[in-house]
Structure 1
Amino acid sequence: MPPPHSAPELAQKISDILMDWKIDRKIFSFTLDNVAANNAMVKLLKTQLQLQSSLLCNGEYFHVRCCEHILNLIVQEGLKVASDALDKVRSSIKYVKASEARMIKFKECARKVDIEFTTSLCLDVPTRWNSTYLMLASGIKYQRVFSMLECDDLAYKHCPTEDEWEGGKVMCEFLEPIYDITTLISGSSYPTSNLYFMEVWNIARLLEKNSRSHDEVVKSMPLKMQSKFEKYWEEYSDILSMGAVFDPRMKLKLVEYCYSTLDPLSSEDKVNRLKTKLYILYDEYKKKGDDAYLSKVSQSSGRCNSELGESKFMEGVRRQEVGKLKMNPNVFVVSI
Structure 2
Amino acid sequence: MRAVISHMIMVHELPFSFVEYELFNIVMQSASPYYERIGRTATTKDCWSTYELEKKRVQELLNLVDKISITTDIWTSNQNIQYMVITAHFMDMDSKLQKRVINFVEVLPPHTGTCVCDAIYKCLQGWGIEEKVWTITVDNASYNESAVRLLHDSLSFHTTLPLEDGLSEIKSIIENVRDSVKWNVTFAMLSCALDFKQVFPRYQLRDPNYKCLPSEDDWQRVEEICSLLVHFNEVTKIISGSEYPTANSFLPELYSIKEILGQKSKSVEPWMKNMGQRMQHKFDKYWGSSNLLLSIAAALDPRNKMTFIQFVFPVIYSEKEATTQICIVHDAFFKPINGK
Range of TM-score over shorter length: 0.5 to 0.7
| Contact 1:260–1:267, Cα closer than 8 Å, also in 2 | yes
Residue 64 of structure 1: how far off its partner (Å): 6.7
> What aligned pairs does 1:1-336 form with structure 2 within 5 A after superposition?
5-6=124-125, 9-10=128-129, 14=132, 30-33=134-137, 35=148, 39=152, 43=156, 65=159, 70=161, 72=162, 74-75=163-164, 77-94=165-182, 123-124=183-184, 131-262=185-316, 263-279=318-334, 283=337
SS, match of residue 303 in structure 2 = coil
| Contact 1:64–1:236, Cα closer than 8 Å, also in 2 | no
CA distance in 2, matches of 1:40, 1:137: 38
SS, match of residue 211 in structure 2 = coil
CA distance in 1, matches of 2:126, 2:297: 29
Q: What TM-score do the two structures reach when normalised by structure 2?
A: 0.55
Residue 181 of structure 1: how far off its partner (Å): 0.7
CA distance in 2, matches of 1:278, 1:38: 35
Partner AA of 1:277 in structure 2:
A
The answer to which structure has the higher helix fraction is 1
Partner of 1:302 in structure 2? none
SS, match of residue 212 in structure 1 = coil
| Contact 2:250–2:294, Cα closer than 8 Å, also in 1 | yes
CA distance in 1, matches of 2:334, 2:126: 34
CA distance in 2, matches of 1:241, 1:7: 36
SS, match of residue 253 in structure 2 = helix
CA distance in 2, matches of 1:81, 1:265: 32
Residue 37 of structure 1: how far off its partner (Å): 7.2
Q: What TM-score do the two structures reach when normalised by structure 1?
A: 0.55
Question: How many aligned positions are there?
Answer: 211
CA distance in 2, matches of 1:8, 1:283: 41
Give a deviation string over 1:121-140, Cα, whole Å, max 9, x none: xx22xxxxxx2110000011
Structure ranking higher on relative contact order (CA contacts 8 Å, 6+ apart): 1
| Contact 1:6–1:37, Cα closer than 8 Å, also in 2 | no
Give a deviation string over 1:93-138, Cα, whole Å, max 9, x none: 13xxxxxxxxxxxxxxxxxxxxxxxxxxxx22xxxxxx21100000
Residue 92 of structure 1: how far off its partner (Å): 1.2
Partner of 1:47 in structure 2? none
CA distance in 2, matches of 1:11, 1:156: 45
Percent identity (aligned):
25
CA distance in 2, matches of 1:201, 1:163: 31
Partner AA of 2:200 in structure 1:
F
CA RMSD of aligned residues (A): 3.1
SS, match of residue 129 in structure 2 = helix
Give a deviation string over 1:150-203, Cα, whole Å, max 9, x none: 223323222111211111111111111111111111111111111111111111
Structure 2 residue runs of 5 or longer lacking an equivalent are: 1-58, 60-101, 103-121, 139-147
The answer to which structure has the higher strand fraction is 2
User: Structure 1's 10 and 37: CA in aligned 2 closer, same or farther, altered over 3 A?
Assistant: farther
CA distance in 2, matches of 1:268, 1:199: 21
CA distance in 2, matches of 1:160, 1:211: 25
CA distance in 2, matches of 1:191, 1:84: 39
User: Structure 1's 189 and 223: CA in aligned 2 closer, same or farther, altered over 3 A?
Assistant: same
Partner AA of 1:213 in structure 2:
S
Residue 255 of structure 1: how far off its partner (Å): 0.9
Residue 274 of structure 1: how far off its partner (Å): 1.4
